[in-house]
């Protein structure tokens, strides 16, 4: 058999060999029946920032060690340390909030901070609570829970609180504490 005959025979067999199905089975990945896609985050990130803005002006910068976003609930859950820097309409830093964890509602950009919440204003007013809410539209922080405030002039505590985010104009409901007069 010459070389040309072998080549023609091989070319004739090639389409037949390519059309024969392979011996291996295709493997389908298994999906655990116990895993519900609605309960796992659609997005995750580590050591990331969220910018909350209105009409091109930054209202708050949020940093968290771990962020999870769930499409079905339209909420962003943050943990492993949350730090929020609040800004006034002029872009000046007014206060900084830290907490262990928090949640941002994606529809309103409202924030709920939980566990070891601490806020300090640029005027050295300090606030402690276990839960604190930030209303983005009204630029107001509030909680129905226990709070403690220390400023250069007073030490107050009570249950229920609301304030502007700079901690300049605040109200404590059911208050106890002491104030210094100069």
Q: What is the pLDDT of residues 164-176, one digit of tens each?
A: 989 999 999 988 7
**Which residue segment(s) compose the domain that 154 sits in?**
38-179
* CA separation for the pair 100, 78 (Å, rounded): 8
Q: What is the pLDDT of residues 86-110, one digit of tens each?
A: 998 888 999 999 999 999 998 888 9
Residue 85: the pLDDT is: 95
Of 107 and 82, the one with more pLDDT: 82
Mean pLDDT, rounded, of the chain = 83
Residue 9: the pLDDT is: 58
Q: What is the pLDDT of residues 105-129, one digit of tens each?
A: 988 889 999 999 999 999 999 999 9
Residue 40: the pLDDT is: 80
Residue 92: the pLDDT is: 92
Residue 12: the pLDDT is: 64
Residue 31: the pLDDT is: 60
Residue 57: the pLDDT is: 87
Flag whether 10 is in a domain: no
* CA separation for the pair 89, 174 (Å, rounded): 31
Flag whether 9 is in a domain: no
Flag whether 24 is in a domain: no
Of 2 and 64, the one with more pLDDT: 64
* CA separation for the pair 102, 131 (Å, rounded): 9
3-state SS class at 26 = coil
Flag whether 18 is in a domain: no
Flag whether 142 is in a domain: yes
Band (pLDDT 50/70/90 cuts) for residue 157 is very high
Flag whether 5 is in a domain: no
Flag whether 7 is in a domain: no
Flag whether 32 is in a domain: no
Q: Is the pTM of this model over 0.75?
A: no
8 has pLDDT over 60: no
Average pLDDT over residues 138-150: 93
Using the CB atoms, write b or e for 143-169: b if 16+ within 10 Å.
beebbebbbeeeebbbeebbbbbbbee
35 has pLDDT over 60: yes
State how many domains the chain has: 1
Q: What is the CATH number of the domain that holds 94?
A: 2.60.450.10
């Amino acid at each position: 058999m010459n070389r040309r005959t072998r080549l023609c025979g091989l070319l004739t067999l090639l389409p037949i060999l390519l059309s024969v199905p392979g011996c291996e089975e295709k493997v389908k990945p298994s999906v655990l029946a116990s895993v519900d896609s609605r309960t796992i985050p659609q997005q995750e990130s580590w050591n990331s920032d969220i910018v909350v803005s209105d009409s091109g002006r930054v209202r708050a910068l949020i940093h968290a060690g771990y962020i999870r976003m769930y499409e079905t609930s339209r909420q962003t859950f943050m943990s492993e340390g949350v730090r929020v820097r609040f800004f006034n309409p002029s872009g000046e830093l007014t206060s900084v909030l830290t907490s262990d964890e928090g949640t941002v509602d994606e529809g309103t950009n409202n924030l709920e901070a939980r566990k070891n919440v601490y806020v300090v204003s640029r005027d050295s007013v300090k606030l402690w609570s276990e839960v604190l809410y930030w209303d983005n539209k009204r630029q107001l922080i509030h909680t129905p829970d226990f709070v403690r405030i220390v400023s250069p002039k007073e030490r107050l505590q009570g249950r229920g609180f609301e304030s502007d985010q700079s901690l300049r104009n605040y109200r404590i409901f059911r208050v106890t504490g002491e104030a210094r007069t100069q």
